[in-house]
Amino acid sequence: MKIVRKISKEFLDSTRISLPSARIQNKVAKIVSDVANRGDEALLEYTKRFDKVLLTPKQLKVSEAEISAAYQGVDPKMVAHFRAIFENIRAFYKKQLQKSWKVKDKDGALVGEKIVPLDRVGVYVPGGQAPLVSSVYMAVIPAKVAGVKEIYIASPPDKEGRINPYILVVANLLKVSGIFKMGGAQAIAAFAYGTKAIPKVDKIVGPGNQYVTEAKRQVFGIADIDLLAGPSEVVIVANQHTPAEYVVADLKAQAEHVGGTAILLTSSKRLAKYVRKALPKLKGYIMVVSNLDGAIEIANRIAPEHLQIMVKSPQRYLKSVKNTGAVFLGEYTPTALGDYVAGPSHILPTGGTAKMFSGLSLDDFTKRIHLISYGKRALERVRCPVQAIASIEGLQEHLNSVKVRK
């Protein structure tokens, strides 16, 4: 790890999301266009090219037989673990539930909001050597609690045309509407535009590589998306009382994420030297600060995905935290808890975007429909200001639409 003495442009740039190269943008644009125009034919061609497996349109959807077989490859004890984790996540998101509302004033003017869940959501789940099983329940459960009726999973198949059994089991336990063998930019395009085999969805959520993220960016507007996620990152705030082995373990855990960045902000020179010696090759930075208040100020400028305040009285500093996807308080709260079991989704803003974005919430799966209802008396009360503004804007027919109602 590299010791830095100030927040330089290089330091901040290392934690910021940047657009992919023109080559990647163009490659993704071609894939998205092909799937939009040729549907399943293009989707299957790209599946053969990138996933090295030849499928038919009918084979894109995981069958009931495949799901049943998946249970044979899963430790039965894990099913009980999954169910316990699901309850933690449901309990958290049930606290976010909001009701439709309306109010009426003395003249009878009514305004309000109707909260409506999205109809269809697509969840992208990366496969590969480390399939992100937790991403299934971290995306599906909030959507379920919000009231989304149709939830579909996309995950890339292996060379035998199979999806990781744990992904299938978790998706089945959560009663998703369908699971599809497709990955990469082509999966995002298929969800956004729909094909004969793949339903068009209203929103696409879930993490992915730079091709998946770029595809989400390009289809935004055709479908909604959760966020543009970059590599994972953690900022750890620690002092001389923080167990050094905890800090090292959590920094090493961050290094398991491809391209992940780890940053230690500490008021202890001794801890800084220890960590640097223990992790000389780890991608990340160590900064020695004069006090912990200064560390929180720096963390707010970085706006990390994960912020760990690993000191004895972390609540003291919480009021100063403004920019992070999730904050982990105390020495016994590693980010792994947030990744897997605590309750809040691990789908969080990265690359400094925590300054303006939040982690996945029920708001991501609902719409707010504004309600307005005026009677004659209520209209009369606002007739003059409405007509005045319409006149200023030069919209004569807006003005007339009020005048005609006598």
254-279 pLDDT, tens digit each: 888 888 889 999 999 999 999 999 99
Active site residue 256: no
Average pLDDT on 227-247 reads: 94
Q: Which of 306, 331, 370, 397 is catalytic?
A: 306
Active site residue 370: no
Quickly state the pLDDT bin for 82 (edges 50, 70, 90).
very high
Beta strands 224-225 and 2-4, pairing class = unpaired
Give 41-62 pLDDT, tens digit per residue: 999 999 999 999 999 999 999 9
CA atoms within 13 A on the CB side of 292: 21
Cα–Cα distance for residue pair 289/311, rounded to 1 Å: 14
Element (H, E) at 300: helix 292-302
State CA 88 to chain mean position distance.
18
Bridge partner residues of 235 (DSSP):
263, 307
Quickly state the pLDDT bin for 115 (edges 50, 70, 90).
very high
Give 180-222 pLDDT, tens digit per residue: 999 999 999 999 999 999 999 999 999 999 999 999 999 999 9
Unique residue bearing structure tokens 């590299």 = 2
Cα–Cα distance for residue pair 298/263, rounded to 1 Å: 11
Entry pTM? 0.93
Question: pLDDT at position 186, please?
Answer: 98
Q: Which of 233, 305, 331, 346 is catalytic?
A: 305
Q: Per-residue pLDDT for 11 more than 90?
A: no
Q: Which domains does the chain have, with CATH numbers?
A: 2-17+231-342 (3.40.50.1980), 22-225 (3.40.50.1980), 374-403 (no CATH)
- Average confidence score pLDDT of the chain: 95
